[in-house]
Chain A
Amino acid sequence: GAVVSQHPSRVICKSGTSVKIECRSLDFQATTMFWYRQFPKQSLMLMATSNEGSKATYEQGVEKDKFLINHASLTLSTLTVTSAHPEDSSFYICSAREEFRSYEQYFGPGTRLTVT
Chain B
Amino acid sequence: EDQVTQSPEALRLQEGESSSLNCSYTVSGLRGLFWYRQDPGKGPEFLFTLYSAGEEKEKERLKATLTKKESFLHITAPKPEDSATYLCAVRAFDSGYALNFGKGTSLLVTP
A contact residues vs B (CB 8 Å cutoff): 2, 4, 6, 32, 34, 41-46, 49, 91, 93, 95, 97, 102-110, 112
Contact = CB atoms under 8 A, between A and B. Distances in A.
A44 B97 contact: no
Given A103-B49, A107-B36, A49 B96 contact: yes
A109 B42 contact: yes
Contacts of A45: 101
The secondary structure that dominates the A interface is strand
A36 to B, nearest CB: 8
A43 B101 contact: yes
B43 A108 contact: yes
B10 to A, nearest CB: 10
Contacts of A108: 43
Given A42-B103, A44-B99, A103-B31, 7 more contacts: A34-B98, A43-B104, A45-B101, A105-B97, A106-B46, A107-B45, A108-B43
Q: Report, as a range, how many residues of chain B touch the other chain.
A: 20 to 34
Contacts of A49: 96-98
B98 A43 contact: no
B104 to A, nearest CB: 6
B87 interface: yes
Contacts of A41: 103
Contact of A46 (B43, B51, B99): B99
